[in-house]
Structure 1
């Protein structure tokens, strides 16, 4: 039995479709602000593998609530990984491009020095470090720009705003890979299965959609596929200030994921089409 932390988030929802026999622990059962309780849940259930699809993802709120974000994103995954190490079972943990500073234009390799710009990135990096230190059969999957038909995300926001307005101003100087949650879920399952057979595959990996694109061009593709006549006007990050600083460069080198696990970067445009179909959006 696979144990999944997370129940209603984008990736957890997609995992439900892939893993009908898995057990999903939502906030009502597993309080990620209590790391010991998370470890205890694993010890009590003794699963065959654990996937952590839960996190504190309120990037701006984390700036003023870093202690809670650190408990959820840093301490809880560390405790989970330690419990998995004791049982010698695979642990797959989802991380983020926010562990990097977003400088330059080249894709970040898995071994590139980390330098988070804000609280969210710092807490996610703390989780990564704890998972690596536990020494379990683990895969840390850094991903970016997650979207699906579930929960709140950029695609659903654009569909709503695009239907309401004739013109939208969207940031064009941040570039990354939009990633369908469905593909992230499938990759997590594949990683867990392969780690069960080969602990040597343990490590940190990148997984994001291709090709890399700006938020503005992502919005244009959403409108094009949805048949929404809304004009996108490019703006710079400085024109849209937020409490937390966003990385300008979220490009990630995903080659190791394909080499080690045989998992290629997903084509986000086809993933977008699937999401629009799920949402009942037609031209």
Structure 2
């Protein structure tokens, strides 16, 4: 169990927070953001809380005002052959936590994904756009969203995409390593999305809760858009690596699970709630790069 308790500043919301999935890339940044804000927060990882056990979920949330579910089966390709196991975590686990939060009268923040959409769009997906997942991961996360809406009326579903951060493996770290090892890189240019720093997402979650945003679905991604090829160019520039990068297509790198070609999410629900979306991905990457690539 990770616990951080400090005195709460006069202008901070005096709420007790529980972060589930606290050892992951987002969970660790969320704990850091809350600690910096002087909040009372407890973090539980997989070893401390088995979300697939309903009774364990009920016991874990007692005494908390805000519960954040940052736990998930995120191995996208493995989910294609282990969909039942992914469903246990992403859907059954989400349902257990939602039911427990509702019984404890705690606000539930549930982190979801762009993979609930079909990825064939040409303009940013609205928060209420129909979902049509094409992968096992997307199906199980879509089921988790449905469970949260059904079981926890006071919920905030926050969809995100293209996450990177300092605490764990991520695309920028991989590409910086490959850029240092290889003479040339080929990176797909036909998948478009919004690279998003986990620290920015953590900050957004806290701002959403503090704003007492209406229950519903929100999109927690950076503004703007780029391709993996475009992102790689910026990664290598920040890393000081002159490695040439050439654009290529997804067909060159077949994977078990289909990747969305278009993962750009709209932010109108945030604006309606009076919460500023995360700013442009390129600007945020320049700020994030030193800590992510350290």
Distance 2:23 2:182 in 1: 30
| Structure number having the greater helix percentage | 1
Distance 1:112 1:54 in 2: 24
Residue in structure 2 matching 1:62, options 70, 79, 99: 79
Distance 2:208 2:160 in 1: 14
Q: Secondary structure, in 3 states, of the residue corresponding to 1:270?
A: helix
> 1:261 deviation in Å?
4.0
Are the equivalent residues in 2 in contact too, given 1:33–1:68 (CA < 8 A)? no
Partner of 1:13: 28
Partner of 1:226: 239
CA RMSD after TM alignment: 1.5
1:137 to 2:154 alignment: yes
Distance 2:268 2:187 in 1: 30
Distance 2:150 2:173 in 1: 37
Q: Secondary structure, in 3 states, of the residue corresponding to 1:2?
A: strand
> 1:94 deviation in Å?
0.5
1:179 to 2:196 alignment: yes
1:256 to 2:256 alignment: no
1:24 to 2:39 alignment: no
Partner of 2:111: 94
| Aligned pairs, number | 275
Partner of 1:52: 69
Partner of 1:152: 169
Are the equivalent residues in 2 in contact too, given 1:175–1:212 (CA < 8 A)? yes
Q: Secondary structure, in 3 states, of the residue corresponding to 1:29?
A: coil
- Give CA-to-partner distance per residue, 1:167-220, whole Å, 9 cap, x none: 11111100011111001111112222333xx6xx00011121122100000000
Residue in structure 2 matching 1:208, options 218, 221, 225: 221
Deviates more, 1:267-276 or 1:153-162: 267-276
Deviates more, 1:15-24 or 1:171-180: 15-24
Partner of 1:41: 60
Q: Secondary structure, in 3 states, of the residue corresponding to 2:211?
A: helix
Which runs of structure 2 are paired with 1:114-125 in the superposition (5 Å)?
A: 114-125=131-142
Distance 1:154 1:203 in 2: 30
Are the equivalent residues in 2 in contact too, given 1:177–1:250 (CA < 8 A)? yes
TM-score calculated relative to the size of structure 1 = 0.93
> 1:280 deviation in Å?
6.2
Which runs of structure 2 are paired with 1:232-247 in the superposition (5 Å)?
A: 232-247=245-260
